[in-house]
Amino acid sequence: MATFYDLAADNRRKSLILVLLVVAILAAFGASAGIALSGTVDGGLPFALGAFVLGFFLTLGAWFSGDKAVLAAAGAKPLNPDAGAEERQLDNIVDELCLAANLPKPKLYVIDDTALNAFATGRDPEHASVAVTAGLMAKLDREEMSGVIAHELSHVRNFDIRYGLLVAALVGSLALLSDLVMRWAFWGGGRRRSNDREGGNAIQVIFFVLTIILAILAPIAARLVQLAVSRQREYLADASGVELTRNPAGLERALAKLAGDTEVLEVATKATAHLYVVNPVKRFESRAAGFMATHPPLVDRINRLRTLRGVKPLAAVNEA
């Protein structure tokens, strides 16, 4: 039977494969655009290299400052344990769970919002941060908060936070390159195609069409693969969190409360939604139409926790 450590190792292998896949798509995309522009296979090499360099520098930026950008986008402020009982309780919970998990204590932040949510970010356990909303501290009891924090610390321990930063940068590179290619197609591609028909350069025509197709499909494909792995990571973080707290009921109750929360977390974006403990975009929001599912269904997550307690699964949960 696979242990949590086996599952975490398998998760890291899948993450590496995903990163390499996105890099390959990025290079192929650049090469296709280069051939479409130059009309020769050799002409695609500089563009493939350029696409790779773009991804490299965006990834490098994410590695060193991606967590700061995420925290700034969320409006997160450093936690002050002396500010009140809720802040002291959160600080104590993190101390206890880090000791149990043999993890360095992450930096703690608070998001001044009444919505219920939390996330972890950083490149490794030594450079990790955990942010929670003020609403979460106010509405969850100690057991429930312990379940949520254990879930987030599991993301840290399993290096999910590193994966989130790296892949977000690579997928962002693809989106940026796609946007540039679509602008080129709109402003200069039509004129080039006209010249191609006159010159009979079939290679350019073929790769022009291929590049446009890639510009449309590549970011979507990369995003779908990213989200598929992200959903599996949520299941593993739930299970790993229970291993830390020895109390599946705490996280189960917390997820039920988060499922029924109708407060809107305005600071959540498409780029950061996958980081949160539950999907921060509610079904009733107008922006929900543009969001892909970043998390597994809450009823599935709750039922897996109920199974650990030997309790009958739920048919559904009232999810906002």
Per-residue pLDDT of the chain (320 residues; tens, 9 = 90+): 556 567 667 766 766 776 777 778 778 888 888 888 777 878 788 888 888 887 788 778 888 888 998 999 999 999 999 999 999 999 999 999 999 999 999 999 999 999 999 999 998 999 999 999 999 999 999 999 999 999 999 999 988 888 878 777 777 777 777 777 777 666 655 445 445 544 446 777 788 788 888 778 877 776 776 676 677 889 989 999 999 999 999 999 999 999 999 999 989 887 788 889 999 988 777 777 666 677 889 999 999 999 988 889 888 777 87
Q: Cite the beta strand spans of 103-188 per DSSP E.
A: 107-111, 118-122, 128-133
Helix (H, G, I), strand (E, B) or coil at 133: strand
Tokens of 311: 């309790």
* Angle, CA of 166, 168 and 169, to the nearest 5°: 65
Task: Determine the length of the chain.
Answer: 320
**Minimal CA–CA distance to 229: which of 155, 174, 177?**
155
pLDDT for 188: 57
Query: What amino acid positions are annotated as catalytic residues?
Result: 152
| CB of 216 closer than 8 Å to CB of 177 | no
Within 8 A by CB and 6+ apart from 230, the residues are 164, 274, 294, 295
| CB of 239 closer than 8 Å to CB of 303 | no
Query: How many angstroms separate the CA atoms of 145 and 93, rounded?
Result: 8
Helix (H, G, I), strand (E, B) or coil at 310: coil
Dihedral sign of CA atoms 45, 50, 56, 62 in order: negative
Superfamily of domain 71-162+228-308: Metalloproteases ("zincins"), catalytic domain (3.30.2010.10)
DSSP 276: B
Within 8 A by CB and 6+ apart from 59, the residues are 166, 169, 170, 173
Residue linked to tokens 């002409």: 43
pLDDT for 270: 74
Q: Where in the chain is the domain with CATH 3.30.2010.10?
A: 71-162+228-308
